Chain A
Amino acid sequence: MKKNKVIKFFTESNKAFTLISILLGFIIGGLILWFSGFNPFTAYAVIFKGIFSKPSYISYTIIRSTPLILTGLSVAFAFRTGLFNIGAEGQYIVGSAAAALAGYYIQLPAVLLIPLVILIAIISSGIWGAIAGLLKSKYGIHEVISTIMLNWIALYLQNYITKIKGFAKPNSEASKFIQDAANITFFDNWKHSDKGMAWLNNHHFAKEILRTPANFGIIIAILCALLVWIILNKTTLGYKLRAVGFNKEAARYAGINIEKYMIISMFISGSLAGLAGALHVMGVSHNITNLSAMEGYGFDGIAVALIGSNAAFGTIWSGFLFGALKYGGTKIQPFMGAPSEIISIMIGTIVFFISMPNIIKISLNKILLKNKKRGEDVK
């Protein structure tokens, strides 16, 4: 009886299965390291220390996780409404370009400028997402194709914007920096002033944290997760969106205008990804650069969403897991010469197992069936 309960927990509980998948990711990653001649325990210890052993490491981990949580929320939101948004990448780019432009050109005090820059970024990236929604609802074009194309168009658009006269930093591949009033990095001016530096020299912990571009982004990201949860679970809009995702024809029969809700869903999804880009520009990079390839925040967001079971709060945890591994993983390269790409392999393995929620049930059935057959043979 008790045994059955345990089996049930592991075969039917979503969270338990995610945990098993993560564990398997670590085990297989470790085995690959071991086969390649590296001690997996040393590697994991280096990664763990690289994430937690200093306040500045923790701060960097959080900074790394912030955009991933938001692109994860973006993909998860679309998934929940029946759409596969591969375009978080492009929407991220549009959000960051819009934030860089608005943060450079618009002159306002910080209290007004910061919300305005964010608003401009999420509207532009939302529209970028909504284009895919419109193309799907109006012309039946699969969102996977349209968002892939829109990603590349966004990339070249940003490269064009970076080179606009007056906005481009002369003799470089980057744009000019946003104004201080649009900067959301903690105490960015003060910490570089004489007074600030003098104070920080006497306060070790604060100095460690402020050495990194620590910023307000993470707070906004977590608030967004809360907002997504509320929209999906507590509002009529969310109910309708989920209904469209659950069963299109049934939703249409119930009188829901599914074309309209597809566009709304892609708008919200796009704006979440764009917000990730905007916060990165306002809090970390303070400008945009000429891109030669995709940066990957959007694609990583797909894995974040999947590991987080497409749930708002699950995405926070998986965003942190992903961000921590990505940041801590870079440290095994200099420390022990082990390729940091082991992190991509681990993430891939985790997602691979998550794709098969029935693996345990099916394997158990197969084993039972075999045993049964063997039993029959004996008879």
Chain B
Amino acid sequence: MLNNIALIIGVTLMYSTPLIFTALGGVVSEKSGVVNIGLEGMMVIGAFIAATVGYYSGNPWLAFLAGGLAGAFFGLLHAIASVSFSADQVVSGIAINFLGPGVALFLSRIFFNGATMTKSIDLDNKMPRLLNGIFHKDSFLYYILDNQYATTYIAFILVFVIWYILKKTVLGLRLKAVGEHPAAADTLGINVFKIRYLAVITSGFLAGLGGATLSISVVSNFRPTLVSGQGFIALAAMIFGKWKPVGAMLACLLFGLAQGLVVFLGQFQIQIPSQFLNMLPYILTLIVLVAFVGKSVAPLADGIPYEKEQKH
């Protein structure tokens, strides 16, 4: 029994980790007033670059960082469009979702001899499992923590860091001010453009880390179906978590838990067809939204381009 619970928790953590990184990215961007529907595309490019750098360098940390930077680059594109040129942010996000996978597969074919799947990273060069081998084989914690890659711990640390920045620092206060009342923030001398650039690029970086987690922790290569919609799930988790880091994390955990249940229930010879089990996370999310959450309120200026009033 205890081992079953531990198994479910272990799977939950594995599924939630990439979502947590990406959802945090969503929080940071949208708190500053820029809708980021391009998380999916940023995740894809992050996953691809991390897998490629990991394969060639053999260094998981370098790969992880490179994945983040690749996401940050697409964040920069999104920022240029939506901050400097007052783009329709949903539309430029959609563009990122075409560009991310497009560039990833294009480069994959060039680097890996026409294949859309990168070569596998050696198991030794994957993200390390920090607590591997510390616990006794039959202990409760063995199942939960032994299999977790370093990325899982980093994700939870980042939840705290971003919560802290948003709640307790001047930078966080400015970020939120810019997302709620950009004009007022501007009169107080806050550089709206600079803050939004910073937020959107950070958002891309985090989504890139989320993608990297998929390709160098969860599995060990990149393939076209690797991300398949998890960026959108993270986006949903962010809205579900009411645009807050801890809320988003809880939403990701709930989603991961549903996946954990799917894996757990899948072991038994039960009468439910597997297709219905697979629907569970999505149905559960809808039910939770209907039953408990209801209307969620975005930052006031979310999605509205800020244009400085022209001086004549």
Contacts and interface: CB of A to CB of B under 8 A. Distances in A.
Contact of A355 (B91, B286, B296): B91
A342 B310 CA distance: 39
Contacts of B239: 142, 144-145
A302 B94 CA distance: 8
A351 B236 contact: no
Nearest to A75: B94
Interface stretch (A4-12, A153-161, A186-194, A207-215): A153-161
Interface string B271-312: 001011011011101100110011110000000000000100
Contacts of A339: 105-106, 109-110, 114
A348 B99 contact: yes
Most chain B CB within 10 A, of A36, A153, A333, A365, is at A153
A146 interface: yes
Given A348-B98, A362-B85, A140 B276 contact: no
A306 B91 contact: yes
B6 interface: no
A294 B229 contact: yes
Interface in A329-353: 333, 337, 339, 341-345, 347-349, 351-352
A137 to B, nearest CB: 11
Nearest to B277: A156
B110 A359 contact: no
B225 interface: yes
A339 B224 CA distance: 14
B15 to A, nearest CB: 14
A229 interface: no
Nearest to B77: A352
A139 B290 contact: yes
B4 to A, nearest CB: 24
Contacts of B310: 365
Nearest to A142: B239
A341 B106 contact: yes
Interface in B155-178: none
Contact of A292 (B91, B98, B225, B286): B225
Nearest to B311: A369
A115 to B, nearest CB: 30
A273 interface: no
A302 B282 CA distance: 22
Given A145-B236, A146-B286, A348-B99, A356 B92 contact: yes
A149 B84 contact: no
Grouping DSSP codes into helix (H, G, I), strand (E, B) and loop, the A interface class, with mixed when no group exceeds half, is helix
A144 B235 contact: yes
Contacts of A152: 229, 279, 281-282
Nearest to A306: B91
Contacts of B276: 156, 160
A153 B99 contact: no
A98 B77 CA distance: 41
A111 interface: no
B103 interface: yes
A302 B40 CA distance: 15
A356 B87 contact: yes
A165 to B, nearest CB: 11
B102 A341 contact: yes
Contact of B90 (A36, A84, A349): A84
A339 B106 CA distance: 5
Nearest to A132: B286
B81 interface: yes
B279 A153 contact: yes
A358 B91 contact: no
Contacts of B236: 144-145, 148-149
A292 B275 CA distance: 11
Interface in B82-108: 82, 84-92, 94-99, 101-103, 105-106
B21 interface: no
A302 to B, nearest CB: 5
Contacts of B286: 135, 141, 146, 149-150
B3 interface: no
A342 B232 CA distance: 23
Contact of B279 (A156, A333, A342): A156
Contacts of B289: 135, 139, 141, 145-146
B197 interface: no
Most chain A CB within 10 A, of B37, B82, B92, is at B92
A302 B84 CA distance: 24
5 contacts: A156-B275, A302-B94, A345-B102, A345-B103, A354-B95
Closest A-B pairs by Cβ, 6 of them = A344-B102, A348-B98, A140-B295, A348-B99, A355-B91, A352-B95
Given A139-B289, A345-B99, 18 more contacts: A86-B232, A135-B290, A139-B290, A144-B235, A145-B289, A148-B233, A160-B273, A294-B228, A303-B94, A333-B114, A341-B101, A345-B106, A348-B99, A354-B91, A355-B91, A362-B85, A363-B85, A365-B310
Interface of B: 37, 77, 81-82, 84-92, 94-99, 101-103, 105-106, 109-110, 114, 225, 228-229, 232-233, 235-236, 239-240, 273, 275-276, 278-279, 281-283, 285-286, 289-290, 293-296, 310
